[in-house]
Amino acid sequence: MLKKILLGASIIHCCFYNTMAQSPGQAPVYTSEWGHLFRENGNNKDLLGIFSTEAPVYLLDSTKTQYKVQVSNGDIGFIDRQPLQKSMRGKKSTGEPAQYFDRGSQGHQCPHFYVQVSELRVRKAPTTESIAIRRASLNELVCIDYVPLYQDGWIYIGDHFHENPEYIQMKYLGTELTYEKVLKDYLAAKGKDKEKELAQVGRLREIAWIEDKNLKQALQYWKESNTGIENPKIDINFELLLADQFAKKPETKAYEKKLKALNLHFIWKETALFDGKITDAQMKQLEMQKVKDIPNTPECGWDPQYFYKTPNIIIAFEEYKGKVSGSIYKMSFSNGEALVLGNERMDSNYDERNFVTRFGDMLSARWISSPHEYHIQNGDAGLLIFTFKDGKLFSYECMYYC
């Protein structure tokens, strides 16, 4: 007979197998040894899955030899009795199978796999009918603690206490992909199996953008394999233009000289605002509101003392020996705001292709993400970040490394 486990002042009752996720915020206990999750009490042949050392589990009931538990993805079954811990200690137990729980070459990482497909939908619940809350990128590292051993099983990849749950299917995960491996698989399929050829060249393109190398080769292969195939999501000629521009990036000293000559500044209400030279009086003239703090600002690096803001502009200030200076910290472009680089006045109508043509040799890009985000290096510790949505300038932001 099963007996209920008393945790704190409440009794946790049984749930149905794989029907719902864990309640948000509930604290688990942790296994001390890796092992199998069995479907039925006492039947150690009918396996549901396998769990890692220090996998979070939620106790439901117990027998003399087994615990009934719910694991992170919602599966419910039985595990052999073992010491259960109230906290994690970053350890793994003897014999933990690496084919399910790879911990990296040094053996110290979380058990993990890598996403094997592009733009994999991450779901809010373990079902294809659940809403997609984001898309995982190709080769994204995913920490896991439980692997279902049945077809089309789900794994949990969200936060530890299920307050922001995320699920993906195990069949889309595998070992880390390298450009060289995908290139070999692509060339083997090219001209022989069109479906495999397109799948591999899609991976090749995405890995090349992520690694920022072999880019021109990967894009040219993509263009060759997709000749005659319409893909509204990809403008390959634009991507090839950007790759050509990347290849022209000047050396550090020439780069810094070119950036300085561009004389970056901002225009709002026909007032020119120059980085570092913005004054307290200018902010009052422009009727900007002074605020003490801005949410989500970095906690290290440059730490501004206070801010002025409008709905679309944040200007960060600091004071040194009585002198007040400021910098445009963030700006969005929807109410006449403009940014000037060289001879280019950039507002909400400014075209992304013009930006790439004019400044591409100074850029790095997060092209695979959407919207497109471009970076210009600003000295040893700074970045100027330009975001384009639907081909038009959307926002600017400066950032300093921690």
**The token pair that represents 323 in the structure block:** 């002198």
Check residue 354 and give its pLDDT.
Answer: 95
The pLDDT, as a whole number, for residue 1 is 36
The b-or-e profile of 114-126 (16+ CB within 10 A means b, else e) is bbbbbbbbbbbbb
Torsion sign over Cα 7, 11, 16, 18: negative
The predicted pLDDT at position 189 comes to 96
Sequence-ordered list of residues with C-beta below 8 angstroms from that of 89, at least 6 positions apart, any chain: 54
Indicate the angle between helix axes 179-189 and 194-211, nearest 10 degrees: 160
Among candidates 145, 164, 163, which has minimal Cα distance to 155? 145
**Alpha carbons 112 and 152: distance in angstroms, whole number:** 18
The 8-class DSSP code of residue 240 comes to H
Q: Are 281 and 288 in contact (CB under 8 A)?
A: no
- Written as tens digits, the pLDDT of the chain (402 aa) is 333 333 332 333 333 344 455 677 688 999 999 999 999 998 888 999 999 999 999 999 999 999 999 999 999 999 999 999 998 888 889 999 999 999 987 778 899 999 998 788 999 999 999 999 998 989 999 999 999 999 999 999 998 888 999 999 999 999 999 999 999 999 999 999 999 999 999 999 999 998 878 999 999 999 999 998 988 888 999 999 999 999 999 999 999 999 999 999 999 988 899 988 888 888 888 888 888 776 665 554 456 777 888 889 988 887 777 777 788 888 999 989 999 999 999 999 999 999 999 999 999 987 887 789 999 998 776 889 999 999 999 999 987 654
What pLDDT score was predicted for residue 21?
A: 57
Quote the longest CA-to-CA distance of the chain.
81
Q: What share of the chain is helix, strand, coil (3-state, %, to 5)?
A: 20, 35, 45
Strands 265-268 and 271-274: antiparallel
Instruction: List phi, psi (to 5°) of 354.
Output: -60, -40
